[in-house]
Structure 1
C-alpha cells in the first residue's frame, strides 16, 4: 500500500502565523516528504473559513509540482460544482503538464451553503452537477477539447462520494473512488459491474483520521487542542447557513478512545505499528492502493509537523509497504 501526506494549510486565530511563512513552510514539507519517500501529496479546499483554509488546491499543487520531481500530487478534494468545467479542465491540464503527468484529480460535491453562495452555484444540484462534470472533463481532455491537453492520456479522476449511493455512482462512471473504507467496496464493485467496467481496474484511496507518533503519550497533550479545534470547526461549518444548531464542543480524549462511526466521529492517535494495523482493518480486502494522513492538525507548530511527516514516511510507510511484498 502506498502512503501520502495531506495539507489543508489551516491557520487558526489561536495559533496564527504569517500566511506567507505558512505557505513557504508547506512547500518545504512537500519537498521533504518526497525526499523521505512519500508516494503522494494531497491538497484540499474550503472557502471563507476563519483559519484561511486553502481555497485553491490546484494552484498550490502547481507550486508543489515545481518543487518536486517524483511524488504524485492530488486534490482530496476539490469542490468541482463551484467551477466552470472548462476552467477546471484547463487548470488540471496545466498542473499535469507542470508536474510531468503526476496529477490525481480528486473531486467532491461540497456541502457548505456559504461556499455555494460565494460562487453563485446551486447547492441543491451539486451531485447532479458533479456527475455531469466528470463526463465533460473526459470530453474536454480528448480530441477537439481544451489545449494543451494533459500529459496523462487518462488523467485519474477520484470521486469523493461518501456513502453507498455515492460509491455505486463512482463505479458506474468507471472512475476511482476516494474512500479508504472497506465498507464502500461492495457498492463500488456493484457500480463498476453495472457500468460494464472491468473490476480489475477498481481503484480506491483516501484519508485516515489520525496521527502517527513514536511516543503517543508524550505527544498527545500537544496535539489534542489542535484536534479539538479541527473537529469543532468542521462541525460548526457543516451547519452554517442551514438553521441547524451548532454541535457541542468535542472531547478530544473521547474522540481518541472510541471506534469510528463515520466521518468526524473518532481520531486515531497511535504508534506506527498500531496505526498500520488500524489501516489494514479499515481497508480490509478493498482495492485501496493509497492512504494519506494530514501532516498538520490545525495550526500545529512547525517542528511537530516536520516530525509527523518524518514518522509517516520513515516509520509507517515501510510497514504498509511490507504488505505489498
Structure 2
C-alpha cells in the first residue's frame, strides 16, 4: 500500500491570533481523523519570521499531534538544525519519542534562508559546522552516558524510547549533506529526486565503512488536494496554492533543489505545472503513486474546504489504494 501523508505548515496570511488558534486546533482534529482512517504520516516543517505565519515550532506541534493520535507517525521535514541548542533538542526529541512510543521521524537540514539565521543571531557561514556538532551531539546524548561537550562533561536524560535512537535522517540537496550523513552512518533524505546524489552517498558509505539508506522523493511528488469539481476548486482556491508556491520561490535561490519548487507566477501556470494538483477521487487513485501527500490547509485554505478534501481522500481514495 502506498504511503499516505497529510501535511501541515499552518500558513495563514494576515490571520489574527484567534483565527490561527482555530486553524491549529482544526489541524489536530484532522490529524486525529486521518489517524483513525489509516493515514500513515503527518508531516510538518519549520520556518521562522515569515509574514504568513508559517509554523516555527514543529516539535511543539508534533507533541500535540501525538496526544491526539494513536498510530500515525509525525515527520518533521525539516528541522533547521543549526538554529537549535543541541542539548535541548536532544531532550525534546527524546521526550517526544517516549511520549509517542517511537512515532517521531526527524529530517535534519541546514535551511537556506539567511534571514532565519539573523533572527536568532546564528552565523549563516558556520551552518555546516554547526550541523555537524548538532548531529554528533544528538547521537552521543541519546546513549544516556556522559560525554564531552564544549569543554565540559554532560549527560542527557531520559534516554529515548527507540533503540538506538529516534529515527533521524540528514536532509539536503548537496554533496556536503550526503557526505555528512554517510560519515555519521545516518540515512539520507534528498530534498528532490536526485539519483546522482544517492550514488554519491553510497560511495561515501563505502569510504567511511558505515551503513545507511536513502529515502528519496519520487520523480513526481505532487502536493494534492481532492475535490469533486477540480475546475471549481482551482477557481475558488487556487490563490492559496499560488501563495505558498510563490513564498517558496522567493526563499529558494537557483541552487536550491526541492521536490516542491515552482516557477509559476499565476494560478493557470501553477495548475499546468503540476507541483500542486487538485484531483477528483478517481483521478487521485489513478495516479498510482508510491506516496500520496495531501495538503488540506495549503496557503491559508479555508478550514471547511480542507475538511472536504480530507474526507474525500480518506473515504474515497485511501480504501481503494489499500485494495
Q: TM-score, normalised by structure 2?
A: 0.81
| Aligned-partner SS, 1:298 | helix
Q: In the TM superposition, what whole-angstrom CA distance separates every residue of 1:125-173 from its partner, at most 9, and x where no partner exists?
A: 2133213321221111013141011111131112221245534543443
| Aligned-partner SS, 1:5 | strand
Count of paired positions: 299
Q: Of residues 249, 260, 276 in structure 2, which corresponds to 1:267?
A: 276
Q: Is the 8 A contact 1:2 1:321 kept in 2?
A: no
> Which region of structure 1 is more displaced relative to structure 2, 210-219 or 96-105?
210-219
| Aligned-partner SS, 2:299 | coil
1:1-325 equivalence runs, <5 A: 1-13=2-14, 18-144=19-145, 145-153=155-163, 154-163=165-174, 166-179=177-190, 181-184=192-195, 185-198=198-211, 202-204=213-215, 208-215=221-228, 216-238=230-252, 250-258=265-273, 266-272=275-281, 274-275=283-284, 280=289, 292-318=293-319, 321=322
Q: Does the C-alpha gap of structure 1 residues 117 and 309 become closer, same or farther in structure 2, counting only changes over 3 Å?
A: same
Q: Is the 8 A contact 1:223 1:300 kept in 2?
A: yes
Q: In the TM superposition, what whole-angstrom CA distance separates every residue of 1:256-310 from its partner, at most 9, and x where no partner exists?
A: 2136xxxxxx433434565566574xx7xxxxxx663323211101121112223
Q: Is the 8 A contact 1:161 1:170 kept in 2?
A: no
| Aligned-partner SS, 1:41 | strand
For residues 248 and 75 of structure 1, the distance between their equivalents in structure 2, rounded to whole angstroms, comes to 25
- Which runs of 5 or more residues in structure 1 are unaligned? 240-246, 260-265, 284-289
Q: Is the 8 A contact 1:6 1:43 kept in 2?
A: yes
Q: Is the 8 A contact 2:227 2:281 kept in 1?
A: yes
For residues 278 and 175 of structure 1, the distance between their equivalents in structure 2, rounded to whole angstroms, comes to 31
Q: Is the 8 A contact 2:112 2:251 kept in 1?
A: no
Q: Is the 8 A contact 2:194 2:216 kept in 1?
A: no
For residues 27 and 306 of structure 2, the distance between their equivalents in structure 1, rounded to whole angstroms, comes to 9
Q: In the TM superposition, what whole-angstrom CA distance separates every residue of 1:164-191 from its partner, at most 9, and x where no partner exists?
A: 5534543443323334754344334334
For residues 188 and 278 of structure 1, the distance between their equivalents in structure 2, rounded to whole angstroms, comes to 30
Partner of 2:257: none
Q: Is the 8 A contact 2:98 2:161 kept in 1?
A: yes
1:58: Cα distance to partner?
A: 0.5
> Which region of structure 1 is more displaced relative to structure 2, 165-174 or 5-14?
165-174
Q: Is the 8 A contact 1:111 1:123 kept in 2?
A: no
Q: Does the C-alpha gap of structure 1 residues 192 and 236 become closer, same or farther in structure 2, counting only changes over 3 Å?
A: same
For residues 235 and 213 of structure 2, the distance between their equivalents in structure 1, rounded to whole angstroms, comes to 40
